[in-house]
Amino acid sequence: MKYITIIVSLIVTATLYMLTARPEVNMTDDRLTPEEARVIVNKGTELPFSGKYHAHKEKGTYVCKRCGAPLYLSAAKFDSGCGWPSFDEEIPGAVRRQGDSDGQRTEILCAACGAHLGHVFFGEGFTASDTRHCVNSISMNFVPADARQTETAIFASGCFWGTQYHLQRVRGVLTTAVGFTGGHTSRPGYYEVAGGGSGHAEAVQVVFDPGVVTYAELARLFFETHDFTQVNRQGPDIGTQYRSEIFFRNEEQRRVAGELIGVLRAKGFQVATRVTAAGEFWPAEEDHQNYYVKKGGSPYCHVYRKIF
């Protein structure tokens, strides 16, 4: 059955390619070639088996061609035989889904800049996740595993929408994802956490380039965009899921968090922020990812104030 699906997909996509092979290109970024813009901006499709990554097997990270945000790890790539790079999962929070203009398929876009990537399909039985991200090679670049050093941080400071809003705007932050951590249940959902019984905090996982922005800079922004003196609440949001907490991933992060709290206490603040070793981070549902990017506006309980 899955082979029939693939054949149908090839026929449909090849037809679409012929229909959109040379549209009027809306160049919104002069870094893109006309062919890149045809796919990335105007939502075109490259011919099957023509892209440089469809049979690519090197270890590393596939990133957005337009903005450089990490999208997929090589471990998620598999050979579906469809002629385009196939992945069974994205980096949490890196890819946005929306209904395609054809009314049938689900389009996938870079969550950071909105670049068109391709489409996602379900129920084909290729992998355990039963999901296939069918991505145009031309929408991506590839970074070998040893070519780029990244670091991950996890912060909780009340409603994760507002925390993400500030962190994702920092130069050097590669990707962010909202989710849950610090609790005692597996794969929690939003309403389970909101009920307060799972023990999780609403948190944001940040992948960043330490050569561009330091962990200390991100931690300072964390403190400067919420009220870290409040216990188990942030503004009108009340409950342990809204606590202020830093989940450190190594000894250096723990040291930096401790030093910053010491500075704040020396300034007279009664710091309620916890510092805890990081555990499993569970990404939240898609409708919570990049909330203010999708909805517009700005957070009402996460306002920047200079402290350091």
| Catalytic-residue membership of 159 | yes
Q: How far apart are CA 11 and CA 14, in angstroms?
A: 5
Q: Active site residue: 64, 110, 134, 301, which one?
A: 134
Report the relative pairing of strands 244-248 and 60-64 from DSSP bridges: unpaired
Beta bridge partners of 282: 180
The C-alpha atoms of residue 164 and residue 102 are separated, in whole angstroms, by 32
**Does the annotation count 113 as an active-site position?**
no
| Whether 248 contacts 205, CB under 8 Å | no
Strand ranges (E), 22-89: 60-64, 70-73, 77-78, 86-87
At residue 177, what is the residue type? A
Name which of 36, 129, 131, 132 is nearest 82 in CA terms. 132
Catalytic residue among 64, 82, 110, 159: 159
Dist CA 255 CA 236 (whole Å): 31
Q: Could you list the active site residues?
A: 134, 159
